Amino acid sequence: MNKKVLLNKLKDELIKDRKLSLIESRIIFGEGNFDSKVIFIGEAPGAKEEELGRPFVGRSGKLLEANLDEIGLGREDVYITNIVKKRPPDNRDPDSREIALFSPYLKREIDIIKPKIIVSLGRFSLQYFLPGAKISKIQGELINSGDYLIFPVFHPAAALRSSSRMADFKNSFKKLKKHLN
């Protein structure tokens, strides 16, 4: 089966999963190039993502797209998703129970895409792959986790709130370009 078919089956399973129906928002599944060498993984959808039904389409998504553009990539060249596929209530951070519920689906999503590099956007995504790691210490570094190369980057929302984090965010994309080449 091709990747598109496999991802559609996975999305259908997510929609039908009764455990996930306890979280009152819609499924926001990953999107992009199924054959991409790089996958960007955030924590959870926000209000704009829930409204439009797509990952990273709010202010954070615009910043992500602008930085992709600066390194010669478009949104259509990469795959973008989140750990948690439903928006947490009151736009709060996802909790450990929500992350645990969605983790098997994320693992399968990654296994289907088979990226060379996983860009973990923010601390929750980093913690998923490297428990105990601090984003402020290792953002912008390429780390071999055994199965994948993990490239931690500040979440775009954090970059929007701090000029120093914005500078680090932009520099990380320049480093990412070198790793992709």
CATH number at residue 81: 3.40.470.10
Domain span holding position 61: 3-180
Per-residue pLDDT tens digits for 148-177:
899 999 999 999 999 999 999 999 999 999
pLDDT of residue 1: 74
What is the count of structural domains for the chain?
A: 1
What is the chain's mean pLDDT, rounded?
93
**Cβ neighbourhood burial of 132 (10 Å; 0-12, 13-18, 19+):** exposed
Note the pTM of the prediction, 2 decimals: 0.94
Strand runs labelled E in the chain: 31-32, 38-42, 79-82, 117-121, 143-144, 149-153
Average pLDDT over residues 98-120: 96
User: Rounded to whole angstroms, how far apart are CA atoms 164 and 138?
Assistant: 15
